[in-house]
Amino acid sequence: MQKYIPLILTMGQIFFNKGQCTELPLANTPYPLEPALYIAPPILPLKIQGIVQEGKKEARTLNFPTANVAVRIAGLNYGVYSCRVLANNVSYDGMAYIDQRRPAVLEAHLFEFDGNLYGKDILVELKTFIRAPQHNLSFEEVKELIHKDAALCREDLQKVAHSKE
């Protein structure tokens, strides 16, 4: 029998439109509170809600500051996604990144946002998978790639908006 349930993590909340979810215990987590690990089909769009935490501030050096939300989702592809983010009751287009080097963190860059979201509750809706992670790149290559990602995400979100009209 299939169960359709919202998944509640100790570090955030994930909402699935459909799909069977299986809870697995998580050992040796780097967090003081152990979030549960769920096996779930990577169904998009996928909504992830959580509290913004301070990160390493590396993306800020590239002029792409991110809101970092702790999350654990098995079965979700690592890489870049177009997304919409609800923060402070305002919806922003953006791009999100999940990397196997830091799989417990979703990093979301909000286009046209200037402010501080630390400690705030946000909702990130992953829309479309854009690309897999690329490693061992120079600073300039990373910067160029992120600009391309931003353009692709903006383009994708425009398509999504027009398809609903």
Any idea what the CATH number is for the domain that residue 122 is in?
A: 2.40.30.30
Pick the more confident residue, 33 or 13: 13
SS3 60: helix
- Position 2 in a domain: no
- Position 18 in a domain: yes
- Position 75 in a domain: yes
Neighbours of 126 (CB within 10 A): 24
Please, what is the average pLDDT of the chain? 75
Q: Each residue of 15-51: b (16+ CB within 10 Å) or e?
A: ebeebebeeeebeebeeeebbebbebeeeeebbbbbb
The pLDDT of 130-148, averaged and rounded, is 91
How do residues 71-107 score in pLDDT, each as one tens digit?
877 677 889 999 999 999 999 999 999 887 776 789 9
Which pLDDT does position 31 carry in this prediction?
36
Which pLDDT does position 148 carry in this prediction?
95
- Position 105 in a domain: yes
Structural domain boundaries, residue 106: 7-163
How do residues 57-78 score in pLDDT, each as one tens digit?
666 666 678 899 988 776 778 8
- Position 90 in a domain: yes
- Position 1 in a domain: no
Under 8 Å between Cβ of 98 and 76: yes
Which of 48-62, 101-115, 130-144, 145-159 comes out lowest in average pLDDT?
48-62
Measured distance CA(114)–CA(110) in Å, rounded: 9
DSSP letters spanning 93-129? EEEEEEETTEEEEEEEEETT--S--TT-EEEEEEEEE
For the chain, how many structural domains are there in total?
A: 1
Residues 6+ apart with CB under 8 A from 1: none
